């Protein structure tokens, strides 16, 4: 009998792929909207509530603009990291 070839060394698996089972388990406990219309309605309600809470917390317009600018800067940092991760995992 001939010998079987040695298995090739496995390539590095992306982090997100290794954790896919964990994500699937978390999603099982989440109730998603049954229609797109219902989903948009929930999104609008959540946005309105978040804006209401923000306005209660903020003392002045200057503070509101400062918070908005801070969130915009965080968004830019997140987009930069997302592009870097896409290039790393997907070669784009």
Tokens of 38: 């219902």
Tens of pLDDT along the chain (92 residues) come to 567 666 666 677 778 788 888 888 988 898 889 999 999 999 999 999 998 888 888 888 888 888 888 989 999 999 999 999 888 888 76
Asked if 64 and 54 count as a contact pair (C-beta separation under 8 A), the reply is yes
What confidence score (pLDDT) does residue 6 get?
Answer: 63
Q: List Cα–Cα distances, 65 to 30, 70, 72, 75, in angstroms.
A: 34, 9, 10, 15
pTM value surpassing 0.75: no
């Amino acid at each position: 009998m001939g010998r079987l070839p040695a298995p090739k060394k496995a390539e590095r698996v992306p982090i997100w792929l290794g954790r896919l089972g964990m994500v699937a388990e978390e999603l099982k406990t989440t109730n998603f909207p049954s229609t797109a219309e219902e989903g948009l309605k929930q999104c609008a309600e959540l946005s309105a509530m978040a804006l209401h809470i923000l306005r209660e917390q903020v003392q002045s317009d200057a503070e509101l603009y400062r918070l908005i600018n801070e969130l915009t800067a965080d968004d830019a940092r997140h987009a930069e990291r997302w592009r870097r991760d896409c290039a790393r995992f997907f070669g784009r």
